[in-house]
Structure formats: structure tokens, C-alpha cells
């Protein structure tokens, strides 16, 4: 996940994502990192994000790990990285079911 975060920081939009597509071309999983503070604030409010208070090492946590977590759970989850003041400085959204995937595709105008 660390690399996805680095990629997002390099983008002018502050966003980077990876996805897995099934045979018909539809996405089956989206893992998206958002690093813009204004965007993170809006997402926190829109999704009412509540931390699980588990701190993980993004250098070793893989996109596959978080995708599997989302698929085994509700189909949508997130991971957050906090800065020294305690604010979320990066937010990774993981969608692994059709409704959540459609929400991310629409909200961020992802190419089809």
C-alpha cells in the first residue's frame, strides 16, 4: 500500500487506484488511495469513517491483503494513515462488491 500512497502523492489530483477486472471487463475490486486533505475530509463525512484503532505497516500491507479483507467483509472498507498531529494524511478505500465499486467509479469519474 505504501507504493499506492506514493503514487497518489505524485498525482496532481492526489489520487491513485488499482483495480482487478473480470472477463467481461467489469471491475471486481478497486483499491484507491486519496492523499488530498480536503478530499479526505469530504470522504470522512460522506462515509462516516470510524477507525478500528489498529495501526498497520503500509510497507508490508499489500493491496491483496486489503482487497481480501473487503471481500470477506461487507465489500467496502478503508485503511488510514495518520500524520504526527493525528489527522488522516492518506486514505485507502477498498471496494469489492458491485454497489461499492459503482459508488467509487461514479464519485471519482473513473474511466470505464
In the chain, what are the domain boundaries?
A: 2-93
Buried b (16+ CB within 10 A) or exposed e, 42-81: ebbeeeeeeeeeeeeebeeeebeebbeebbeeebbbbbbb
Q: Please say whether the dihedral angle defined by the alpha carbons of residues 42, 33, 25 and 76, taken in this order, is positive or negative.
A: negative
Given a contact cutoff of 8 angstroms between Cβ atoms, the answer to whether 37 and 16 are in contact is: no
pLDDT digits (tens, 9 = 90+) for 67-95: 888 888 889 989 998 888 988 999 999 99
Q: What is the dihedral of CA 18, 102, 71, 57, to 10 degrees?
A: 40
pLDDT digits (tens, 9 = 90+) for 14-64: 999 999 999 888 999 999 999 999 999 999 888 888 887 777 888 888 888
pTM score = 0.88
pLDDT at position 82 is: 87
Amino acid at each position: 500500500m505504501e507504493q499506492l500512497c506514493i503514487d497518489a502523492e505524485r498525482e496532481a489530483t492526489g489520487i491513485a487506484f488499482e483495480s482487478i477486472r473480470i472477463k467481461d471487463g467489469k471491475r471486481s475490486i478497486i483499491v484507491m488511495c486519496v492523499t488530498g486533505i480536503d478530499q479526505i475530509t469530504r470522504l470522512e463525512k460522506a462515509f462516516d469513517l470510524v477507525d478500528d484503532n489498529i495501526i498497520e505497516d503500509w510497507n508490508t500491507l499489500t493491496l491483496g491483503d486489503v482487497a481480501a479483507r473487503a471481500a470477506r467483509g461487507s465489500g467496502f472498507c478503508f485503511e488510514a494513515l495518520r500524520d504526527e498531529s493525528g489527522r488522516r494524511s492518506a486514505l485507502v478505500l477498498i471496494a469489492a462488491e458491485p454497489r461499492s465499486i459503482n459508488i467509487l467509479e461514479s464519485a471519482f469519474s473513473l474511466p470505464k
